[in-house]
Amino acid sequence: MNSSEVDWVEAKELVRSYLSRRMRGSAREDLEDLVSTSLEKLHRVISRHSVDRVEAMLMTIGHRTLVDYWRRKAIENKYLEPLDLQSEEHHDQGADLDERLQDRRAEVRWVVLTFLGKYSPKCHALAMSYFAEEAGDSVAQRVRKRPDSIEREWRRCLARMVQSASHNPRSLLHELRQ
């Protein structure tokens, strides 16, 4: 199959099958999002370039999309530590837990906004939108960019902050306190 004769139904089933085998136990919504993202990326590639082996390109795109998903999940699990609010241990401490969670969110918000405010006005504006829980589409529309561009820019902002913290966490905290 080359780029001029793509069977999108077949391509969708192929990438769904590939991803579902590798995502056992993950949410079905995540699978569908990754399938859509993979197909969108394939469409962008074949609209710009001639592709002789569309299936191979689709599998490569699907794999890379899945790796990005796993990286995002690892970061979420590492930094956001989901809390089991239904456990007996936390059930008795409901109000106290809510306060600690709000305090932690406020701390994370302060660190992110302070750091990005010092290093990049664009990143700071994106962070403000993120913490205001503004939809990515509306942010993209407001700044006249595509949603995927906004997402990539936000990832670069966070990567810059994580890189700074990983190189020397004490200097990052020192800079934030200044």
HEC sequence for 118-166:
HHCHHHHHHHHHHHCCCCHHHHHHHHCCCHHHHHHHHHHHHHHHHHHHH
Q: What is the pTM of this model?
A: 0.45
What residue ranges do the domains of the chain occupy?
Answer: 3-79, 101-177
Q: What is the pLDDT of residues 41-81, one digit of tens each?
A: 999 999 888 888 999 999 999 999 999 888 888 877 766 65
In whole angstroms, give the CA distance from residue 62 to residue 60.
5
Q: What is the pLDDT of residues 105-126, one digit of tens each?
A: 777 777 778 877 877 888 888 8
